[in-house]
Amino acid sequence: MALSNSTYNSFDHALLLAILISLGLHVLVLAFMPPPHPDSGRIPPALEVVLQPSRPEPPPPPPPKPEPPKPQPRKMLPPPVKAPLPPPAEQPILPPAPPPPQVIATAPVKETEPAFVAPPAPVEPVKPHEPPPADVEADLGKYGNLLAREFAKYKQYPRIAQMRGWQGTVRVKLEVDANGSVTSSVVSESSGFEALDKQALEMAKKASPLPLPPESLRHRPFTITIPVQFRLE
């Protein structure tokens, strides 16, 4: 136990000695250090920086709520137009009732029989003036000669008739209506040769329309016969 106390005492002395030596050295160092040059200005104050914990950023504001749709203004319908009421029918003003007729007694009058009137004589329609039969016959002869000359313009002697020497006269009957148009053409008298008869009918066909007939033959149907001669020269 005595040994332990001595050990501790020696350690304390040594520690104390070390502290004193350290203090002496610091004093010597401070003694030999040049004095600090005074600054022209004042000594700037020491900066003090205090670090503070960063504050958490505030959360972003919530998005604005969409505005509710504005109610559409209702279209005001025009008030229904009432059909105008028809004006009240005017009551006709009735004339005053006539006074009752006065009955006057009169003597009976005998009825007289009407006089007999003869009916008018029937009026006969005026017939158009008809030319005398002699004039009609004369005009038919003249018109027949005119048509014969017209037919001759279209005569073509059949080849076979020329080769065989056929000759003859064909009579062609024409029926003409009131307008002067030919309604029928037939052979009323043959030449004895079919080729000549056919040629005569062909001439009548080519001569249509016919020349204007005389005044006595107009506006009435008539029949006329035209002779067509075939002669070899």
Per-residue model confidence (pLDDT) at position 186 = 95
Q: Residue 218, SS3?
A: coil
Are 223 and 176 within 8 A, CB to CB?
yes
Residues with Cβ within 8 Å of residue 147, at least 6 apart in sequence: 174, 207, 210, 211, 224, 226
Closest CA relative to residue 189, chosen from 155, 154, 222, 227? 227
Q: Closest Cα partner for 229 from 160, 166, 140, 137?
A: 166
Comparing 60-69, 122-131, 222-231, the range with the smallest average pLDDT is: 122-131
Prediction pTM value: 0.43
Q: What is the domain partition of the chain in residue ranges? A: 137-230
Contact predicate 31/23, CB 8 Å: no
How far apart are the two ends of the chain, measured CA to CA in Å? 206
Q: CA neighbours within 13 Å on the CB side: how many for 150? A: 17
Per-residue pLDDT of 77-113, as tens digits, reads 666 666 666 666 666 666 666 666 565 555 555 555 5
Q: Are 175 and 223 in contact (CB under 8 A)?
A: yes
Q: What CATH class does 137-230 carry? A: alpha beta
Using one digit for the tens of pLDDT, what is the confidence trace for 51-69?
555 565 666 777 777 776 6
